[in-house]
């Protein structure tokens, strides 16, 4: 290798060398920062661990005062008793699970599809009434389900959806939080990317499904977390009356209300109900962080 080439190589290495960014904090500052994060993590995980420990305690330890944090004689009898109790119901345990899974999956998928399609139009196209419509969506975020409960019931009853899955699924499609998040996130995508795709001959659907949607995964994962938590924990008792269409949470809460004798089963119910939302949150959160770290388009 000639001397000139060696110099060029050295210059390239200097040019592309990534320098380690040194934080402005001292070691003492790092220590207190990590100590604070550790304390916050303990506070966050404490209720979850305590709930699981309660579910593993025998009945006599559940009534012990002062209560102990760790079970002295851990057992899974509470879970086995719960499944025995659910097995005695004239509606099978698997039916409750199917009802809840069906409502959660269909409601979440529909929410993502409708919110993303509407957000794409609102974020990337100007049309009469577009801003007014989005302002209505923002205002809708201020109203809780308790405020809109009676109007929702009257509308669903008028449509003949009472005592059907659609009484829970269709309102989930129209949740304003999904449209708000998707619209705000899509506004960050460069319009030049969409215009370049159209110049190359891509259709509107191709631009939406192949370019826009892959770049808004953080928003999609956030909507999944929100929607699953709401639908999985929905008792649906206001709209669904048939026992064979009841959700799992409703059935488990009936076990919880069985009195002192079912205290152990009630502790097991708390664990069963929170397993799926926590699992979905952990899985989706990791993908959100990975996507946000590996993406970053700028106009």
Q: Provide the pLDDT for residue 17.
A: 47
Q: Provide the pLDDT for residue 138.
A: 86
pLDDT at 276 over 90: no
Average pLDDT over residues 142-153: 83
Q: Which residue has the higher pLDDT, 281 or 102?
A: 102
CATH 1.20.210.10 fits 82-294, yes or no: no
Average pLDDT over residues 199-228: 85
pLDDT at 287 over 70: no
CA neighbor of 292 nearest in space, from 224, 229, 222? 222
Q: Where are the domains of the chain?
A: 82-294
CA neighbor of 295 nearest in space, from 199, 209, 193? 193
Per-residue model confidence as pLDDT tens digits over 58-110: 877 777 778 778 888 888 888 887 777 777 777 777 888 888 899 999 999 99
CB 268 within 8 A of CB 82: yes
Per-residue model confidence as pLDDT tens digits over 235-274: 888 888 888 888 888 887 777 776 676 777 788 888 888 8
CA distances from 114 to 25, 80, 173 (A): 46, 41, 7
Highest mean pLDDT (candidates 159-163, 194-198, 210-214): 159-163
CB 55 within 8 A of CB 71: no
Query: Is the pTM for the entire model greater than 0.85?
Result: no
Per-residue model confidence as pLDDT tens digits over 110-125: 999 999 998 888 888 8
């Amino acid at each position: 290798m000639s001397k000139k080439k060696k110099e060029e190589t050295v210059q390239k290495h200097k040019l592309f060398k990534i320098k380690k960014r040194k934080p402005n904090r001292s070691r003492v500052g790092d220590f207190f920062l990590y100590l604070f994060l550790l304390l916050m993590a303990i506070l966050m995980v404490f209720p979850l661990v305590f709930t699981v420990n309660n579910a593993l305690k025998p009945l006599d330890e559940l009534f012990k005062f002062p209560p102990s944090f760790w079970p002295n004689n851990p057992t899974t009898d509470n879970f086995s008793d719960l499944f025995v109790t659910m097995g005695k119901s004239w509606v099978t345990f698997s039916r409750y699970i199917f009802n809840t899974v069906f409502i959660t999956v269909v409601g979440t998928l529909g929410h993502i599809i409708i919110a993303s399609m509407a957000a794409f139009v609102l974020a990337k196209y100007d049309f009469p009434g577009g801003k007014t419509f989005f302002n209505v969506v923002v205002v809708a975020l201020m109203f809780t389900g308790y405020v809109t409960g009676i109007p929702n019931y009257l509308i669903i009853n008028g449509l003949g959806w009472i005592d059907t899955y659609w009484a829970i699924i269709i309102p989930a499609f129209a949740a304003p939080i999904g449209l708000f998040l998707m619209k705000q996130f899509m506004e960050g995508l460069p319009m030049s990317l969409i215009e370049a795709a159209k110049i190359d001959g891509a259709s509107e659907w191709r631009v939406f499904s192949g370019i826009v949607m892959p770049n808004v995964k953080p928003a999609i994962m956030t909507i999944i977390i929100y929607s699953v938590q709401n639908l999985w924990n929905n008792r649906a008792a206001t709209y669904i009356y048939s026992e064979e269409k009841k959700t799992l949470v409703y059935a488990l809460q009936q076990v919880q209300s069985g009195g002192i004798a079912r205290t152990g089963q009630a502790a097991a119910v708390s664990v069963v109900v929170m397993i799926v939302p926590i699992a979905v949150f952990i899985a989706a959160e990791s993908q959100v962080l990975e996507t946000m770290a590996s993406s970053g388009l700028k106009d």
